[in-house]
A = this chain, B = another copy of it.
């Protein structure tokens, strides 16, 4: 057995990771309907005006504003309605002096007209519609209730830029241009692999001494949530050959996340494999849970060796892998919601190790949920966690703590 050397502080581990990786450059064409959440890999410059024509912003009558001057409810003006313009249609003639056209919101302004008077400020004669007389109870200014051509987006305007993260409204701005897709940065492919002779796939019978694979599922869920494409691999056995083959296979992906095999047992070989094929940047963090985490580079690809214990593995997936993935995916840092609450009971912490301590929210207090690093229910039954710095050995009952919510 090979005991740990020195562990490094969490902050140093985080800095080493951030220093070792960067955004990936691969891009792909993404249809508009799948573009929300993606990161643009191109500037989008409009080659059209939006709207492509001046249009009515209200249901009412397209008029020459000058013809409405002085109109009030007591002293209405009257215009001849010469045509109706619906959306999707264009007027067949000009609006002349003393004339108007009934117009629907969104319909193109007829030539000659320069304003729209709302239907609520008009009254149509008995004949109604085209051919009838319309009384106006208010005046309008030129341009009033008209959406100008290009008011939303002008030809030549840069609508969105490389690196912009698309959301619903930005997808809408792209749709306004009539384009069917955009060039986006590829989502990093994250190879996920559990190691260990004891690890069994779900749905199979458990031999004595064996347990079901948890980490493949938790890590995949976290990666998918933070902009990655999880690529699960077959569990590798605890032999140098098997692990070495597994790493080679996974190098087609962008980021490698192994779990298990990162501690100090004789068969904890992931470290040897990283060292043999590339560079180990650290092994062992002053962190609980999550101490036996290794990180390195193989062929320039970041490789995480996370602890095999489910709570440790998932903690470090959140603390270390998510920021790395988001950097590679060009996404902004994860937003963690948090709330300040009193501790429901005293919590001890191992001196010298930064502790991630899971809690439940019970009656407005933060109650311990942490059981053991091997226990997935430490996290699945928790609402969030508190962090206890390495130099703090205990937090008293009632102490106000910042609970970061899952």
Contact = CB atoms under 8 A, between A and B. Distances in A.
Interface of A: 1, 3, 32-33, 35-37, 48, 50-53, 55, 57, 59, 86-90, 102, 104-108, 119-120, 147, 151-153, 159-160, 167-180, 196-200, 202-204, 206, 208-222, 224-225, 230, 232, 238, 263-267, 308-310, 314, 317, 335, 337, 371-377, 379-380, 382, 406
Contacts of A52: 206, 210-211
Contact of A197 (B87, B172, B314, B373): B87
A169 B379 contact: yes
Contact of A374 (B51, B206, B317): B51
10 contacts: A33-B232, A48-B206, A53-B209, A86-B238, A168-B317, A169-B379, A169-B406, A172-B379, A172-B380, A178-B200
Contacts of A159: 377, 380
Nearest to A61: B1
B147 A374 contact: yes
Most buried by B among A59, A216, A263: A59
A229 to B, nearest CB: 12
A22 B37 CA distance: 29
A265 B218 contact: no
Nearest to A179: B202
Contact of A168 (B221, B337, B373): B221
A159 to B, nearest CB: 8
A208 to B, nearest CB: 5
Copies, count: 2
B169 A89 contact: no
Contacts of A199: 88
Nearest to A48: B206
A106 B198 contact: yes
B151 A104 contact: no
A230 B208 CA distance: 46
Given A51-B374, A168-B317, A175-B376, 13 more contacts: A3-B119, A48-B206, A87-B238, A89-B197, A105-B265, A106-B374, A151-B375, A169-B376, A173-B380, A175-B213, A176-B214, A177-B212, A179-B202
B209 A167 contact: no
Contacts of A267: 86-87, 104
B372 A147 contact: yes
A49 to B, nearest CB: 10
Contacts of A51: 211, 374
B310 A172 contact: yes
A203 to B, nearest CB: 4
A202 B32 contact: yes
Given A206-B178, A267-B104, A168 B314 contact: yes
A359 to B, nearest CB: 13
Contacts of A176: 211-212, 214, 310, 376
A167 to B, nearest CB: 6
Most buried by B among A167, A170, A175: A175
Contacts of A197: 86-89
A120 B291 CA distance: 15
Contacts of A379: 169, 172
Contacts of A372: 57, 147, 151-152
Contact of A265 (B1, B104, B232): B104
